[in-house]
Amino acid sequence: MSLTFINIRTLSNATRQLIKTSLPGVSLHPTSAFNVHHKRPTICDKCIGCSSFHTSSKNYDLMEFFDDRANWKEKEIKTGRPWNIDELRIKSNEDLHKLWYVLLKERNMLFTMEQIYDDEVLTVPNPERKWKVDESMRNIVEVIQERERAINMLETGETGDPKVRKVMNFLGMIEDRTEKEYLVPKSENPEYQLLHPKFEKWMMKYLKLYNEKQLGEEQQLKKTKRKYQERLKKKFPHLTQEELELGWEQKQEEAKKFSSYNKYD
Amino acid sequence: MRISGNSSRMRVTRVLCNYFKRYVEYEMRQSSGVDYKVPIYGWVRKGKRNWKYSQFHPLSAQGQMINKTSKENDLVEPIKDWKIFRGDRVQVLIGKDKGRHGLVNFIIKERNWCYVEGLNCEYKLEEEFEGQPLLKKTEKPLLVTSEVRLVDPADNEPTDIEWKYTEDGKKVRVSVRSGRILPLPAAAEDYYDDFTQISSYKDGDKDTNKEELQRVTFEPSLKSFEEDIFNQMGIKEDRKPGKTYWY
């Protein structure tokens, strides 16, 4: 059986299962990492001095990039929940530093395993593990930022975060811009000066058109809100004004789910 | 004649923990919608605008197949304070089982649905299995707002409830008629936000102990994070950073 080329990365987990059930005989790459039974030659077999390089108690060498051999080709791998932010707040800086590298190694392992499963057209067991690790890493960063902010507030009276300022665009539009670090001052940076020039007269024509478009969009949004609330009121006449507002908020949250650009968010 | 219960259960709620929400939404975006190009960012996948929540989970193949054919969503009544939870005793107000009591099995907050154990069922005759006719029994969903009501433990009659605070500052449910407190059932708190059952879960190799988890190691000091790590690892930094500009 010959299979046409499919980009497996774009398929969801459920559709992968559908493909597997409908085409049971598919095996594109017979020589994959799963089929290797002999022990791989590693660096530490040859030289003795290398063993001091490892800081962990067990030396798996390059096999640390892979999952446990018992978990290979298993359908379900049970894991716990990610670290809460409240649990991380009681830990010292040293513990957070260590935990970060434990999570980083785990994430690397998950990425390599995902690659292998993709090559062999298998479904990845419990793909939410990647999100679990990501969540606890985000929480660690947040806790460290909190502590840095507190020390900065004590010493200088300001949080150390980069400031947000209103800056004019190269099209004349005014927008928020978070400050960045540069090696040269503003006057000597030609790239910055190109993107943020002074106001000129020709900008006014396009600014007016842009403003008009924005007002139109605002009105359109108001119209859709009014019509949706009327529909709600017709079906459930006992609703109060607060609950109608809540219904509109919930509808907007639903739409937000599908409009984000980030792959992981 | 044999009776078989419905095996596949739906598990969706609007209250999801952060990572699980991100994961489910990613899968929903992947299964529906189109790819398109954003000028500077690159290729992006945009999902279907209105996802139709059904009795099947959006991660399952059935839940994703429904969304390829369906067009419009039903209007759902917005509820400010949720009142009915998994494990509650309720009375059915509608249909064949009108007036009967039962325990709540599952809840779908997206549609205001709840399933009551063994009530409001639909029976269906299927093909013969091992020489016997097979009867399939499936529970049908009930609306939380109008088709089901909580039972007061004082006199076993249906009541409305209110959320109130006790003197200790705890939020409790109080029945309007008798003024008695209705505590949350144990089944409601037995699940994490990502639907893993707490009581049945056993710790694996990668999970931390409870003692290790609750140990307090943080000591407040006037060092920043970097200085603290430098001190512990014995790193001395004498170099001074050059001047930089923020704008």
Classify residue A116 as left (phi > 0), alpha (psi -120 to 50) or beta.
alpha
Measured in degrees and rounded to the nearest 5, phi and psi for residue A107 equal -65, -40
More confident: A41 or B50: B50
**How does pLDDT run across B99-138, given as a tens digit for each residue?**
999 999 888 888 999 999 999 999 988 877 777 888 888 8
Do the Cβ atoms of B23 and A127 come within 8 Å?
A: yes
Residue A56 confidence (pLDDT) = 61
Q: Does B28 reach chain A within 8 Å, measured CB to CB?
A: yes
Picking from B34, B41, B57, B75 by the largest number of A CB atoms within 10 A of its own CB, the best residue to mutate is B75
Q: What is the ipTM of this complex?
A: 0.79
Q: What is the CA radius of gyration of chain B?
A: 26
**How does pLDDT run across A197-239, given as a tens digit for each residue?**
999 999 999 899 999 999 999 999 999 999 999 999 999 999 9
Do the Cβ atoms of A15 and B204 come within 8 Å?
A: no
Beta carbons of B117 and B103 less than 8 angstroms apart: yes
- Please give the Cα distance from B187 to B87 (Å, whole number): 5
Beta carbons of A259 and B49 less than 8 angstroms apart: no
Report residue B148's pLDDT band, with 50, 70 and 90 as the boundaries: very high
Residue A33 confidence (pLDDT) = 57
- Please give the Cα distance from B117 to B103 (Å, whole number): 6
Q: Does B75 reach chain A within 8 Å, measured CB to CB?
A: yes
Do the Cβ atoms of A257 and B222 come within 8 Å?
A: no
Beta carbons of A192 and A169 less than 8 angstroms apart: no
**Full-model pTM:** 0.77
**DSSP designation for A135:** H
The answer to whether the Cα torsion of A7, A8, A10, A14 is positive or negative is positive
- Please give the Cα distance from B10 to B18 (Å, whole number): 20
More confident: A15 or B146: B146
CA B6 to chain centroid, in Å, comes to: 20
Q: What is the pLDDT of chain A when averaged over all its residues?
A: 83
Q: Count Cβ–Cβ pairs < 8 Å, chain A vs chain B.
A: 152
Residue of A nearest to B242 (CA): A183
Q: Which of A81, A90, A131 sits opposite B218 (nearest CB)?
A: A90
- Please give the Cα distance from A258 to B34 (Å, whole number): 11
Domain ranges for chain A, please list them: 63-156, 200-262
**The length of chain A, given as a count of residues:** 265
Q: What is the pLDDT of chain B when averaged over all its residues?
A: 85
Please choose, from the candidates A157, A168, A232, the residue with its C-alpha nearest in 3D space to the C-alpha of residue A196: A168
CB atoms within 10 A of CB A126: 16
- Please give the Cα distance from B115 to B107 (Å, whole number): 7
What proportion of chain B, given as a percentage, has pLDDT over 90? 44
Q: Which of B23, B61, B203 sits opposite A128 (nearest CB)?
A: B23
* Helix (H/G/I), strand (E/B), else coil: A84: coil
* Helix (H/G/I), strand (E/B), else coil: B148: strand
Residue of B nearest to A234 (CA): B75
Residue A29 confidence (pLDDT) = 43
**How does pLDDT run across B210-226, given as a tens digit for each residue?**
899 999 999 999 999 99
- Please give the Cα distance from A183 to B242 (Å, whole number): 9
Using the predicted structure, report yes or no on whether residue A253 has a pLDDT greater than 90: no
- Please give the Cα distance from A115 to A109 (Å, whole number): 10
Residue A30 confidence (pLDDT) = 39
**DSSP designation for B191:** B
**How does pLDDT run across B200-210, given as a tens digit for each residue?**
888 888 899 98
A185: CB partners within 8 A, 6+ apart: B245, B247
**How does pLDDT run across A111-157, given as a tens digit for each residue?**
999 999 888 888 889 888 999 999 999 999 999 999 999 999 999 99
Determine whether B116 is exposed, middle or buried from the number of CB atoms within 10 Å of its CB (0-12, 13-18, 19+).
buried
Q: Which of A127, A259, A265 sits opposite B46 (nearest CB)?
A: A259
Q: Does B16 reach chain A within 8 Å, measured CB to CB?
A: no
